[in-house]
Amino acid sequence: MSNPLVQAFFVGRAVADVLSEKLEFAVTDALSELGKWDAELREQMREFTEEVLERANRASAAAGATSTSSVYSGTSSAPVDTQAAIDDLRAEIATLRAELHQYRNQSNANG
């Protein structure tokens, strides 16, 4: 390697190779962490959904066991229409599903 131009070429090539490998490892690690985070988020959302449905089923069973037409609220003495409460919950679930669908579409578009 007596020619400095040839030596500079090989040094530059080695630098490019090392930087390329470092960048590859960094991107791979970042994507791995992103995948873990996404999986954890999905698992937490699944657990949350299961817990909500379980509580809703228990509340529904308890409401069905106490009365078929109305349920009394613990904070007031006025009866609450069960069907209206169910309709409200269904509307909230529909809203949440729409927002979740929108979030998934944004995540898929960005990822």
| Dihedral of alpha carbons 22, 23, 26, 31, sign | negative
What is the SS3 string spanning 38-53? HHHHHHHHHHHHHHHH
pLDDT tens profile 43-89: 999 999 999 999 999 988 888 765 444 444 444 545 667 888 888 88
Contact at 8 Å (CB) between 33 and 39? no
Find the mean pLDDT for residues 8-32: 93
CA distance 51 to 54: 5
Domain locations along the chain: 4-66
Radius of gyration of the chain (CA): 29
What is the distance of C-alpha 22 from the center of its chain? 30
